[in-house]
Structure 1
Amino acid sequence: MDRFALFEDVKSNVEAYRQFLKDSNVENVKEWDDIPIMTKENYLLKYDIEKTTRKDGMKRCSLIGASSGFSKTGSVYWLKQADDEEKYLKAIEESFKALYSIDKKRTLVIVSLAFGMWIGGMQLACAMRSLASKVDYQLTTALPGLDLKEGEQIVKRFKNSFDQFIWITNASNVSIIYSLLKDDKDLLEGCVFFPVVGEYFSESFRKDIALKFGHKSDAVALWTGYGSADTGDLGMETKETIGLRRFLLENSALCRELFDTDDPPMIMKRTSSAFVEIIDGSIVVTKDQLIPLIRYDTKDSGILLEKGEFEGKIPKSLYQGLPDEMICIFGRVSDSVVFYGTNLKIPQIGRFFYSLKELKYSGVFEVEQKKIEGIDTFYFTVYTDGENKDKEKYCKDKLIEFLKSYSREFNAKYDSLTKAADIELINVEIKEISQKQAVKKHKFIKG
């Protein structure tokens, strides 16, 4: 895409963007870096939504939806046009053919997402219904939404009528679904797959889910794309990018060399429909759509990679199939527990819980910051596949031990702060995953 041409077009034809540049004291743009960064707060929530489109924008709007997040002033609304939906539908069909052979197997697609105004849920529900009505192969949909128990009943009731089940949901709901299906051996023999949306998950979690649902080690039991209500699709996993991530998980030295961590990020094939930059570790997107975006900060943490960076570092058979351009996602920029000024990364904590094998960790935990007599304390709820109440103290002690080894800053301050406060600053509760309810959009951090 010609990003400068898009910038000039938007500046000329989008009233809100002209005002944004004026309010940002930007008159003459000579270099791309002179263009101010756009955010929800300084643009989308500041200007009238009708003025964020070109003059004929509202005439072409076929859908009004909302981001899942909320600000102090309410939801961020998004306008979508029919072309956006059609491209989305085609991309899903091609991906599902490549990964799940939906054109060759009798397939039931269950959409277990929040519906209503959230674009992610209703767009996927509409896309799957539309796709099922158009194709000449057996594709059937069911839309139980976040009633996971109804989804369970549908799968069990119709399990003999289909070869496979594709369950579209949030990654954090997959463990709950396992708790509902684990007693039905027929459904744990490699016939249930999970295209998931809405959140970062580790490669360890993907491996764990594949084993639980009876898949072969190289099967793509869990798969995702990257995008949002804001930007649309920006990337999708392929068999090759998943294979690369698996290889990096097993080769920690190379992973540390590339990413400065043992836990590889999510790796996606980049879309060609957007210009993507990494600014201070955050993914910034320029894309033409009904509400065009110029240098929009997604608040997601990531990096860009080219295929050539892996030449000679990974097996040739893996290298050959990689896309030329990739985008790597580490999660939300805000995916940290901020403990008295020390940033503790959520993915690393999740990986630690996986290391406690006796816990039967489900892959889901939450942490809530609470004030007790004016003092900030942190309550971790760790969800497991069985009853583990007797291990709460063990888990808490191990967590604190891990955090001390993970962060020198945490190690330097934890004991002295706890002594000064005279209360426990970190507490751990263990619950069975079956007790957890599906939510609108899961976040590891609450509060």
Structure 2
Amino acid sequence: MISLFDISLQLNGFPIQKAKADLAAITRLSEEEFLKFLERQKHEIVHFHLHNNPFYNELTGSKIVQQWEDLPVLNKQNLQKPLQERLSKGYTSKNVYVNKTSGSSGTPFVFAKDKYSHALTWASNIMRFGWFGIDFNHSYQARFYGIPMDFFGYHKERFKDFLGGRFRFPVFDLSDEVLEKFLQKFKTKRFDYLNGYTSSIVLFAKFLEQKNIVLKEICPTLKACFVTSEMLFESDKKLLEKQFGIPIINEYGASELDLIAFENPKGEWQVNSETLFVEILDENDLVLPYGKEGRIVITSLFNKANPFIRYDIGDIGILDEKSTLQKPILKKLTGRTNDVALLPSGKKSPGLTFYYVTKSIIEDDGNVKEFIIKQTQLDTFEIEYVSAKELDSNQIQKINEAIALYLEPDLNFIFTRKMVLERSNRGKLKQFKSYL
């Protein structure tokens, strides 16, 4: 089989062979050599943008920056201005890779990567998937993603899937009839791996559980499953392992940057230190030591088209105490900063708290398929859920008791049963949303 994937990147002007060779060289560096490489790369990317990017220059102001910690922290609001105003000298929308973020953080924007930097992103993906015996040029992917619904967008995406060795399962309708059709495809196609949104893949696993089917038994070629874009809970991971019969690998990435962390074969969430520099900062922009929870702030070490230097991605996390600069390990990712509920007592709770509380009760019997929680007032929350039968007063009582225990008493919950939950235009499910 010819290497269609590499060839299509090369034809589009992305120097994938050079990127692969350069990345391999970075991974072979000794610890001492790596520290020199990191310092040099940080210095070069800042120097480049200070001299070639008016937008970044304006952001840093005219002050002479003595050390790394003095550089400003970029946020998504800074980047919500026309791309033309943010591109570096020598770059136009014609000679860069342009895309837009999914907006799952509520703050979408358009971004650019120079072609070499984008090739490095792919080289990094290829290397990490390779840890599990997956080769983008030859492995066949079952892809659980959204798809544009307009004629041109739809067919363009399907053509890209063909070149990339992927078969797409659109995730906008995940009713049992549709999941049954998905299942039939696994019986007839020789898939090597699954990849896609966590919530959709989990829903497919629950469907298999009802039918008492292990996916690898009907599709023996499967090697691994990679979930992305949404939180993977421990209980869901166990369900996936049980119903798929293959390793479940958790990835964490951002389209504007790269794969940020990827579970390695030892089960550690290894941070990408080859193309990114990841810091954990407190609310005063001070760097926190390993083991402390704070804002995840990321520098793209190679992107010259668009500066992502000390960029606050809007997530909260912890780097493990055993991390090193060459091999940082993400110990915990606690979701988006904007997914925080404010309570009448003044207490702040991450949206995930509700999710854990309701998840533990709602999912005991497999009746409730999915749910989302919306905060509409300080003391009022709406839970929208999809289920075979309506929640009874006993279940609702249990949820209210658990919420009083974990959060605080006297909160109002409105339960609404839906046929289908609203997903973003990309097919993501946002579990908690505050409208305050």
- TM-score normalized by the length of structure 2: 0.71
**Counterparts of residues 152-191 of structure 1 (less than 5 Å):** 152=179, 155-164=182-191, 166-178=193-205, 182-183=210-211, 185=213, 187=215, 189=217, 191=219
Tell me: higher relative CO, structure 1 or 2? Use CA pairs within 8 A at least 6 residues apart: 2
Question: Do 2:169 and 2:182's aligned partners in 1 also have CA atoms closer than 8 Å?
Answer: no
Q: Is 1:45 paired with 2:32?
A: no
**Counterparts of residues 203-352 of structure 1 (less than 5 Å):** 203-211=234-242, 213-215=243-245, 219-221=246-248, 223-241=249-267, 267-280=269-282, 281-287=294-300, 288-289=302-303, 290-307=305-322, 324-328=327-331, 329-340=333-344, 341-352=346-357
Taking the aligned partners of 1:8 and 1:106, their CA distance within structure 2 comes to: 40
Alpha-carbon shift at residue 225 of structure 1 (Å): 1.9
Distance 1:49 1:343, change over 3 A: same
1:303 is matched by which residue type in structure 2?
A: I
**Larger proportion of strand:** 1
Q: Is 1:89 paired with 2:125?
A: no
Q: 1:358 aligns with which of 337, 360, 364?
A: 364
Question: Do 1:148 and 1:438's aligned partners in 2 also have CA atoms closer than 8 Å?
Answer: no
Map Cα deviations across residues 244-278 of structure 1 (whole Å, 9 max, x no partner): xxxxxxxxxxxxxxxxxxxxxxx333332122111
2:57 is matched by which residue type in structure 1?
A: R
SS in 2 for 1:368: strand
Question: Do 1:285 and 1:295's aligned partners in 2 also have CA atoms closer than 8 Å?
Answer: yes
**Larger proportion of helix:** 1
Taking the aligned partners of 1:220 and 1:76, their CA distance within structure 2 comes to: 34
Distance 1:108 1:297, change over 3 A: closer
Residue in structure 2 matched with residue 428 of structure 1 by the alignment: 415
Unaligned stretches of 5+ residues in structure 1 = 133-140, 243-266, 310-322, 419-424
Distance 1:336 1:435, change over 3 A: same
Residue in structure 1 matched with residue 431 of structure 2 by the alignment: 444
Taking the aligned partners of 2:203 and 2:90, their CA distance within structure 1 comes to: 45
SS in 1 for 2:103: strand
1:444 is matched by which residue type in structure 2?
A: Q
Alpha-carbon shift at residue 17 of structure 1 (Å): 0.9
SS in 2 for 1:353: helix
Alpha-carbon shift at residue 429 of structure 1 (Å): 4.2
Residue in structure 2 matched with residue 246 of structure 1 by the alignment: none
Q: 1:109 aligns with which of 142, 145, 156?
A: 142
Question: Do 2:144 and 2:197's aligned partners in 1 also have CA atoms closer than 8 Å?
Answer: no
Computed over aligned residues only, the root mean square deviation of the Cα atoms, in angstroms, reads: 3.8
Taking the aligned partners of 1:4 and 1:106, their CA distance within structure 2 comes to: 38
SS in 2 for 1:80: strand
Map Cα deviations across residues 110-154 of structure 1 (whole Å, 9 max, x no partner): 34224489xxx999978754443xxxxxxxx22343355697476
Unaligned stretches of 5+ residues in structure 2 = 1-37, 283-293
1:146 is matched by which residue type in structure 2?
A: V
Residue in structure 1 matched with residue 171 of structure 2 by the alignment: 146
Distance 1:306 1:61, change over 3 A: farther
Taking the aligned partners of 1:104 and 1:61, their CA distance within structure 2 comes to: 25
Residue in structure 1 matched with residue 397 of structure 2 by the alignment: 397
Distance 1:207 1:397, change over 3 A: same
Identity %: 19
Q: 2:89 aligns with which of 55, 70, 76?
A: 55
Taking the aligned partners of 1:98 and 1:5, their CA distance within structure 2 comes to: 30
Question: Do 1:106 and 1:162's aligned partners in 2 also have CA atoms closer than 8 Å?
Answer: no
Alpha-carbon shift at residue 369 of structure 1 (Å): 2.5
Residue in structure 1 matched with residue 26 of structure 2 by the alignment: none
SS in 2 for 1:403: helix
Distance 1:11 1:240, change over 3 A: same
Alpha-carbon shift at residue 15 of structure 1 (Å): 0.8
Q: 1:202 aligns with which of 233, 250, 255?
A: 233
Taking the aligned partners of 1:64 and 1:98, their CA distance within structure 2 comes to: 29
1:220 is matched by which residue type in structure 2?
A: P
Distance 1:405 1:159, change over 3 A: closer
How many residues align? The count is 367
**Counterparts of residues 15-30 of structure 1 (less than 5 Å):** 15-22=54-61, 27-30=63-66
